[in-house]
Chain A
Amino acid sequence: MRHSKTFTVMQYLFAALIVFCTLSPFLWLFISSISYQKDLTAVPLRWIPKDITFERYADVFVNSGNDLAYSFRISMINSFIVSASVTLIALVIGGLAAHAIARFRFRFRQKLIYIFLFTYMIPSVVIVIPLYLLLNKAGLLDSKITLVLLDLTFAIPFVIWIMQSYFRLLSKDFYEAASIDGCSRFQMLLLIVVPLVRPGLIATGIFTFLLAWDEFFFSLLFTSSLDAKTISVAIAEFSGKNTVDYGMISTGGVLACLPPLIIAYAFQKFLVQGMTAGGVKE
């Protein structure tokens, strides 16, 4: 379709505005992370710092005696361990459930889907008060395993909700053919179903990882030391303090963005499929 020249010019102006608004906050975060504190607190602001330093990044990755950098590193490792465990467990347990729900007809099937949807939707604040009292009494606060278990309460329902729409696309013929070939049920799942829904599994896995990486509420309440504290909590804690090293927060911010950004960028195709699969179809 052809448009007038004015319209085309407006389109490109709009596009330029989008690029600016999308990228400039990131850019500023990155510039802040490699600026010296004196440049960051200069008024009027110097957009391009006179000198740059990668010292803060180095501090995070090697033992430097900088407590803050050290706590960023450890909490980032914690975030990795927790998010990866949540993703793996949720994919296996949620995937099995989603497959059964999509493939077999049984009583309560429809109700079950909605109950899981509800579990995903309820705000964490509704369940945390008794959980806090209970876990506190049992001495299970501040552990990565507890955090993984808690995250699973929203990760598994999420996987079920999204994956069942993928499994429904599978034709019955596959199952019949496999059954005739003498496949057992688990062989069928492993050798036939899993390869067929691999794109869906990847997309759902990415999403679950991002959800777990972003999770804040449980981590805030249930972790306190570097044993289990996640990167979100470390950043929030630090940016709440009065005297603040803005450069270091920015560094932590850039690093905490990297895993989700890399993942989102690398798997963009799957991501878009996954985003729309669960929401648009039931």
Chain B
Amino acid sequence: MKRMSDKTFAWLNIAPAILLVFGIVLFPLIQTFLYSLQNMELISDNKGQFVGLQNYAELLSDPDFWGSFGRTIYFSLASIAMELVLGLLIALLLNENIKGKTFLRTIIILPWAVPTIVNAAMWKWIYHPEYGALNAFLKQLHLISSYQSWLSSPWLAMQMVILADVWKMTPFVVIFILASLQMANKGVYEAASIDGAGLVRRFFVLTLPYLKPTLLVLLVMRTMESFKVFDLIYALTQGGPANGTMVLTYQAYLKAFANLQYSQGATISYLIAMMIVLLTVMYVRILKTEEEM
């Protein structure tokens, strides 16, 4: 029996994955794009009519779209900044020789493993205006004078959503940074310490530059993920109050599945996808330069 060539064998192995993934994804990917160029409002008389870039033009001149865009950016920036800073601090602590280190490492990963919807439902209960644990706790510590409605003012609700995200995702950042720290060359730190470099100086001159690639990868990964935030918003605030937590994916979902404005939903989706593509390209670039180093 003649052995088949490596190439044929390789494609044979990849074929099922290609068939399944692209088979399901390709058609809707193209179809959504077509919808974004058509008039697909169910109530309209001219349903299915080709309208070119009109949907894009409409959307890009719609203040509601820019509002959601701004909130998506704000959500991403604020939660990622906190996750990176907190994650870095916690990872540095867990890398030290403190008592209870093993215990800390064991529990730190737990919030990350909580399903997003459970995370949202749990925080919704904690934020409850009358019976919530947060109000009770802060009141008993005399940090607030009266109970707050955490999720009923637009600005505050956004911060509360961010807090829930930070609680869940900081562990992910910790694990990544901790893994990098453990691969670091301890001797360099000892030498720097003997040379009289203080803690802060060691951090900025040695640790931070060493962690730069890891931090960059985390930054891009988390940006891509937080740009897609949906579950958390759905279960915590439904985009409210007064659009205070309305982000792009949630808006796309509402347009398509609540208002049945398929083309508007499709257009927002495509704009999100383009942003994600840009981020993916950045991610790949970072990985490549890292490999060359």
Contacts and interface: CB of A to CB of B under 8 A. Distances in A.
Interface string B96-137: 101010011011111111111110111111101011010010
A117 B284 contact: yes
Interface stretch (A52-60, A61-69, A127-135, A197-205): A127-135
Interface in A80-125: 93-94, 96-97, 99-101, 103-104, 106, 112, 114, 116-119, 121-123, 125
Given A7-B199, A11-B93, A210 B113 contact: yes
Contact of B9 (A18, A185, A246, A265): A185
B110 to A, nearest CB: 6
B211 to A, nearest CB: 11
Contacts of A44: 136, 139-140
A118 B130 CA distance: 44
Contact of A123 (B13, B178, B272): B272
B35 interface: yes
A264 interface: yes
B28 A130 contact: yes
Contacts of A23: 107, 110
B144 to A, nearest CB: 13
Given A3-B199, A100-B13, A217 B230 contact: yes
Interface in A165-209: 185
Interface in B14-48: 14, 16-18, 20-22, 24-25, 27-29, 31-32, 35
A15 B21 contact: no
Given A114-B280, A123-B269, 10 more contacts: A93-B17, A106-B10, A121-B224, A126-B270, A126-B273, A134-B27, A156-B20, A239-B235, A257-B118, A260-B115
Contacts of B160: none
A41 B131 contact: yes
B176 interface: yes
Contacts, number: 272
B252 A125 contact: yes
B269 A153 contact: no
Interface string B268-291: 011011001101100010011001
Nearest to A220: B234
Interface size class of B (residues with CB under 8 A): 35 or more
B272 A126 contact: yes
Dominant secondary structure of chain A at its interface with chain B: helix
Contacts of B29: 122, 126-127
Contacts of A18: 90, 93, 104, 108
11 contacts: A19-B107, A28-B125, A42-B131, A43-B130, A100-B10, A116-B21, A123-B273, A216-B116, A235-B117, A240-B235, A252-B118
Contacts of B288: 282
A250 B189 CA distance: 47
Interface string A267-278: 010011001100
B104 A126 contact: no
Contacts of A150: 24
A156 B21 contact: yes
A123 B224 CA distance: 9
B2 interface: no
B235 A246 contact: no
Contacts of A114: 280, 284
Contact of B217 (A118, A231, A257, A279): A279
Interface string A129-159: 1111010000000000000011011001100
A78 B170 CA distance: 29
Contacts of B287: 282
Contacts of B234: 216, 220, 236
A143 to B, nearest CB: 15
B89 A14 contact: yes
Nearest to B276: A121
Contacts of A12: 98
Interface string A208-226: 0010011011001100000
B98 A11 contact: yes
Contacts of B125: 28-29, 32, 239, 246, 249-250
A15 B100 contact: yes
A256 B109 CA distance: 16
A160 interface: yes
A268 B109 CA distance: 8
